[in-house]
Every structure is written in structure tokens, then in C-alpha cells.
Amino acid sequence: MSDILEHFAEDGTLARVIDGFRPRPQQGEMADAISKAIKGNRVLVAEAGTGTGKTFAYLVPALLSGGKVIVSTGTKTLQDQLFHRDLPSVRNALKLPVSVALLKGRANYACHYHIERAKSEGRFLNREDAHYLQRLSRWMQQTQTGDKAECSDVPEDATVWLAATSTRENCLGQECAYAKECFVTAARRRAQEADVVVVNHHLFFADVMLRDEGAAELLPNFNTVIFDEAHQLPETASLFFGESASTGQLLDLARDTRTEALIAAKDFMPLQDATRALEKCARDLRLAITGENARFGFQQLAANSALHAALDALETQMNEFLALAESQAERSEGLEKCWQRATVLAERVVRWRRVDEPDLIRWAEVFSQSLSLNVTPLRVAEVFKKQVEGQAKSWIFTSATLAVGRSFEHYIHELGLDLLETAPETAMWGSPFDYGAQAMLYAPTGMPDPNSMDFVDAVVEAAFPVIRAAQGRTFVLCTSLRAMQRIHDGLQTRLEAESLGLPLLMQGQGSRSELLERFRRMGNAVLVASQSFWEGVDVPGDALSVVIIDKLPFAPPDDPVLKARVEWMEKQGRNPFMDYQLPRAVISMKQGAGRLIRTERDRGVLMVCDPRMLTKPYGKRVWQSLPPMRRTRELGEIEEFLAQLPPPASHGF
């Protein structure tokens, strides 16, 4: 037995100290593989099924390595869990004097300057924000970290945080009067000094961009980086290696400039007038494209005369704004920052309109209140490969969903890991759960083509008897917001018609954390949701017994980023569907399916309404990548299985 495996044994280090620890062969094997990769300065790509206990499997070798380690997670929630619960448990068990630090993006830390400015202005969107600001002020006197996750008196999604935190653009840096008390600076200092730093993927790539620009880095130089939820990396890398300019950024710039001008340049009215003109240009730009929650490629917008007229007006106004802001920039640090932000935004708008490079995808996205102009790299492989070669000695990529079947080829190619001098090692450990006994995969018969007009109605008809048999306790995961709304409305009609009294929730009726809390508390609810609930959601126990997926989660074929990548792959002589679109859909599918069974005691049904899983040749790759559940097409078998479950623990709203 290797030294590392002894810690995971039945009478090992972890079992003696951590309550509820149970040895799992997969966990020890994974820890051993990671330990060897760290010692050998290698790249390891590892899939570990749900329930493997991958967190302890990478933390033990990370803490024992003796080097500087970065652990990067997919979400801030996972960051907090790692830092406040898992890391202390493992460190105590191993009795190691290892220093650890938690570092988040600056928007997560209260800012003394902006809070004081908000108090002095006294202008808020609503009375609630004014009340929350008083609570924030009291909390600021007590907090050691300034991390808004620790402020229980003010919800994390309260709009007051926009006035109480800084951005990279509006931070005054060392010129700030509160520089010595700054929570962001303190958190970064702790991170530079720590042996292990817990970050999220967005912050990791923010650090990469700062290093590339020659700016002061956020993170220390490290020996090892471990990416948990590593399936998110290609998307996050695309975001950070690209750039965007949005109407929201323009409105923020106008508001901040007007505020700073009232303080430091009250006698110079032309600048205040220019902020209002800039706001009008931003709003006109949003109105130039009709619709919402839609994406458009640059060529699709070429004939949109209203858009180009709005962009012409914006460029003219930006030039005037820049001249005025520069003339006043010396009067305060805040005004100088506003001028710098305006310069960057103006350059991005010009690049979006005029820089046509084959490796860049230009596209726009519209929401109900805003519009963003985006530039995304066609591929991130070359850029990411440089990071791997130039920084840490060992790189660990792990998630429950990285492979398609048993192949990591898609993932490795997308991140450019196949371009390294030494090929990455790969490993896969299945879940310790007994899926054959705990779960069933149900594909209903008679479903129409997913693109037909009556498909959504058919989903509702097929899903309802399963929901009824489960007495609620269901997630319905949809591939679009439109389908989500229609399925919700259809289920509501059926529930009311049969007077079942099951609570029906829908994404958007509250924050994700609020909806999950209500779902768990009710015990018999049905939640209809879209993309944000497909992953990172944990509802163990009887509150969730059924997960229904409407369609295989292929990205819309008219998505401008997908379209550009498909065209590029076709020019390379590759098959974009099999090499890119299908692998991405399989990984998303595995994420959605992973919501169902979270512990050894959970039991439930995964229902996939899309007939292509069984009728198309590629469908086999989908269901073979899912956990090894019992499969059926008979509703009666599903109703019989669900009848064996204990009744819901609680009812009511």
C-alpha cells in the first residue's frame, strides 16, 4: 500500500478524525494518481463519478505535496465549502501546518470608498436598499474579511451591493483614501502568502489576463493547480480570452462620471451634460436590435441600419466624452479612472465594428434591458497550452463529467493539452453508487420529433403521470427558456385540473439559492428550470426523486459562436457534429443526470423525453455515457418503482 492510500484506509488518518468518513476504493486510487502526477510534474485529466469523494482525493495529496497549490472551483459556493469545511477537516486530520487562503473577485468584497460615497449621495433605487446600507455600515465595523457571503443581514443578490463594491474599472487603487483598510488588498496579500489558495475559474483566468498584460498578478506563483468542475474551463477560457463592451458598462460609466464630477468638477457642466448624452446613446443602442435573450453574428447585423446609426452616434459621443473627461482627469483619482474606462470601452466598440480577424468571432447578445458587443476567440487551445507550459509544474483537471464514453479526446483537444510535448495522463473512476438498484432511466414511447410544434405538449403529457406517481419531488430541466415557460404553464394546467396541490416552481421566481431552499423545504415540489439548474445543484434525500430532461442539450445551431466554430472545423476537414457538438451535449447531459442520485440512499428516475437518444445512431453515445441505471420504456414499471419510495417528508408552501 502506498503512503497516500494509508490515509484513506478503514482505520486511516481521515477515518479517525472525520465523522462519517467511509473508505471508497475509487477515492484512494484517485488520490494516489494525483499524488504521482504532482510528484512527477505531470498533467492529469481525471473523471470521478458522483459519490467518489474527489474533494478529499485531491486535497490530501495537495496538502502533502509541500509546494504552493491553487485549487480552482466552478462556483463561489464550492469555494466557500472547500475553504470553510473540507480544507480545515483534511488539514486537521493530517496535522499539517499548512496556511490556506480564500480569494474571490473584487465584486465579492465590500468597498469602504463606495459605501461612504453611497451614504453621502443618499440616492437609492428603493427604500429597501437604503435600509440595507445601514446594515452594511454596521457590519463593516465588525467584519474581518469584507466578504459579502458573510453578511447575513443583506442578501447576496440585493441591488445595494452594486453601490457597495468596486469593479476593476472604478477602483481607485493606491490613490484611494481607504487603501490601507481595503478588503480586496488584504485578501490578495493573504493569497500571496498562503500555501494553498482557493479561487474560482473566473478569478484564475482574470489572473492569467493580468499576467499577460504585465500587471500585478492576483495569485502567487504555484507548483500545482487543481481544477475542480474542470468541464467548465473551455467556456470560461473563451470568455476571458475575448472581450466585450455593453450598454450596462456605458450606463455605469456615465453614472460614475457624473457622481465624480459633482464632487470634483461641479463647475464644469459640459462633462455632466456629456454623461446624459452618453446614457441616451447607450439606450438607443439597445433599442436598435429587437427581441431579447438572443444572440446574433456580426454578419447577421450587417444590414441593420438602425444599429449602425446608433453605433455611429455612440462613437461620436464617446470621442466628445473622452475629450471632456481627459480635460478634467487631473482633478480627482475618480475622474481619472472614468477617463481610463471610457478609453477602453471606446477602443472595444471600434474593434468590434472594424477589426476582422479570422481567429476572432464577433457577435452581439441582447437581453431585456441591455446589449453586449462581444469578441470571442475561435479556439482557446493555443492560448491555454501556453499557460500550462509557462506556469505550474503539475496540472490536475477533474470533474464528474469530462469524458464521452471512455474517451477524453474532445476535452483534451479543446484545451490544447494534446499540443503539449508530453501527452496528459487520463484516468476514470466510476461512481460507488449502485445505480442498477437505485435508479431507472425512462425513455417514453410515442414522442414526436423534438423540432415539431407539438413536442412541448407531448413532454407535458408524458411527464405528468411520472410527477403524479412521484408525488412531486421532480426537477424538469429544459434546454431553452421558451420551453421552460410552456412546460411550466402546461403542468400548471394539469395540476389544477386534477387538484393535486403540488407546489410548482419555476426558475426566475427567485434566486437559485432561494428556489432550492423552498424546493427542499416543501418536500413535494416540482421545479421547472433551464440551464442554470443543470449543474452545481445538490438536493440529496427524498425531496428529489425524478429528473426529467426535455431534449438532448445541443447548442442552438444558429448560435453565432457555435456557427463560426463549426465552419472552421469543416474547413479543417473534421466532423463538427461528432467532434464538437455531440461531445458537448453528452457532457451537459451527464451534468443534468447527475442531479438525481447524490448519496448511497437516494433512489429515483431519470426521464429523457428526446426520442433521438434511441432512434439516432449517435444516441447510443449519449446513453452509454450516463450512469448504468436500469432502462425501461414502460410507464407502468416507473410507477411501480416510484410507489416503493417513502412518501414525501413534508407538504405545503
Walk me through the domains of the chain, giving residue ranges and CATH numbers: 3-99+194-239+382-429 (3.40.50.300), 106-170 (no CATH), 243-377 (1.20.1440), 435-643 (3.40.50.300)
Please give the average per-residue pLDDT across 376-405, as a whole number. 92
Query: 77-102: per-residue pLDDT in tens?
Result: 889 999 999 999 999 999 999 999 99
Q: How many CB atoms lie within 10 A of CB 255?
A: 14
Mean pLDDT is lowest, of 38-47, 129-138, 245-254, 414-423, for: 129-138
Instruction: Identify the band that residue 124 occupies on the pLDDT scale cut at 50, 70 and 90.
Output: low
Angle at 274 between CA 273 and CA 275, to 5 degrees: 90
Q: What is the pLDDT of residue 291?
A: 86
Query: 433-484: per-residue pLDDT in tens?
Result: 999 999 999 999 999 999 999 999 999 999 999 999 999 999 999 999 999 9
Beta bridge partners of 371: 366
CA-CA-CA-CA torsion sign (461, 535, 546, 611): positive
Contacts of 521 (CB under 8 A, 6+ apart): 650
Nearest to 240 by CA among 285, 297, 200, 273: 200
Nearest to 38 by CA among 54, 59, 24, 12: 59
Q: How many CB atoms lie within 10 A of CB 347?
A: 13
Is residue 588 within a helix (H) or strand (E), and if so which, with residue range? Answer: helix 582-593
Rounded CA gap, 323 and 331, in Å? 14
Q: Where are the alpha helices (DSSP H) in 141-268?
A: 161-164, 183-193, 201-212, 233-240, 247-264
Q: Are 420 and 445 in contact (CB under 8 A)?
A: no
How many contiguous H segments (helices) and E segments (strands) does the chain have? 28, 18
CA distances (Å), 609 to each of 161, 241, 631, in order? 41, 36, 13
Query: 495-538: per-residue pLDDT in tens?
Result: 999 999 899 999 989 888 889 999 999 999 999 999 889 998 88
In this prediction the pTM is 0.91
Residue 223 has pLDDT above 90, yes or no: yes
Residue 68 has pLDDT above 80, yes or no: yes
Instruction: Identify the band that residue 293 occupies on the pLDDT scale cut at 50, 70 and 90.
Output: confident
Query: 576-620: per-residue pLDDT in tens?
Result: 999 999 999 999 999 999 999 999 999 999 999 999 999 999 999
Give first-to-last CA distance, the chain, whole Å: 53
| CA of residue 398 relative to chain centroid, distance | 16
Rounded CA gap, 11 and 6, in Å? 8
3-state SS, residue 64? helix
Residue 131 has pLDDT above 90, yes or no: no
Rounded CA gap, 68 and 265, in Å? 47
Residue with cell 490530501: 60
Nearest to 444 by CA among 530, 347, 548: 548
Instruction: Identify the band that residue 314 occupies on the pLDDT scale cut at 50, 70 and 90.
Output: very high
Grid cell locating 47:
473523471
Q: What is the pLDDT of residue 172?
A: 85
Instruction: Identify the band that residue 212 occupies on the pLDDT scale cut at 50, 70 and 90.
Output: low
**Which amino acid appears at position 645 of this protein?**
L
Grid cell locating 519:
424546493
Q: What is the pLDDT of residue 120?
A: 81
Crossing angle between the packed helical segments 305-328 and 333-354, to the nearest 10 degrees? 150
Average of per-residue pLDDT values in the chain = 92
Residue 136 has pLDDT above 70, yes or no: yes
Instruction: Identify the band that residue 216 occupies on the pLDDT scale cut at 50, 70 and 90.
Output: low
Q: Are 587 and 627 in contact (CB under 8 A)?
A: no
Q: What is the pLDDT of residue 277?
A: 97
